[in-house]
Amino acid sequence: MAPVATPFFFYLFAAIMVIGGIMVITRKNPVHSALALIVTLLAQASVYLMLYAPFVAGVQIILYAGGIMVLFLFVIMLVSIDRSIRERQFNSQWVVGLIAATALGGLFIAVYTKGTNIFPEHALSIVESDNTQQVATMLYGQYMFPFEIASLLLLVAIIGAVVMAKKRI
């Protein structure tokens, strides 16, 4: 099925993502930042759907918007934010930080305006029906070893998080 009104939805979700990102880095209250980040992540899942990546979109919603953000909200509830809300929100090096970020933005603009012709005008047409099957076949076939390493990484992260957060081991 041909996609419908792709430019409209792309610009809509891009605007939602950028506005959400700006909200994340400007809000005083971390809970508001977390909610803005959730909006950004959901809009990004929609952009993944536009890129014919439904499995990544599902993982994004379940794992990022569902799992990681709940972790963030729990930690925000555990630490007391009353004092930090009343404090100054930006550190004393914020001018230098903005200058560095502007330089990085200039670099991006230079690279993307000079390198426009590297990217093909029309994307390849791919089969959109069996994305999840193909991802599973590749994960359990070609990418078996990285997959196992990822599970080891998660085990290490679980143990590390428990060791860090526990009062006395």
Q: Considering only residues 49-68, where is the footprint of other proteins by CB under 8 A?
A: 50-53, 55-56, 59-60, 63-64, 67-68
For other proteins, which residue of 12, 110, 144, 161 counts as binding (CB under 8 A)?
161
For other proteins, which residue of 2, 4, 124, 169 counts as binding (CB under 8 A)?
124
Q: Does 112 bind other proteins (CB under 8 A)?
A: yes
Q: How far is the CB of 162 from other proteins (least distance, A)?
A: 7
For other proteins, which residue of 129, 165, 168, 169 counts as binding (CB under 8 A)?
165
For other proteins, which residue of 2, 39, 76, 129 counts as binding (CB under 8 A)?
76
Q: Does 16 bind other proteins (CB under 8 A)?
A: no
Identify the DSSP state of 4. S
Q: How far is the CB of 39 from other proteins (least distance, A)?
A: 12
Q: Which of 9, 101, 93 is nearest to 50 (CA)?
A: 9
Binding to other proteins in span 125-144, by CB under 8 A: 125-126, 131, 134-135, 138-139, 143
Non-local CB neighbours of 38 within 8 Å, separated by 6+ positions: 65, 69
Q: Does 77 bind other proteins (CB under 8 A)?
A: no
Residue 97 Cα distances to 7, 90, 93, 102, 106, angstroms: 33, 10, 6, 9, 14
Q: Which of 80, 74, 20, 82 is nearest to 47 (CA)?
A: 20
Identify the DSSP state of 86. H
Q: Cα–Cα distance between 78 and 60 in angstroms, integer?
A: 25
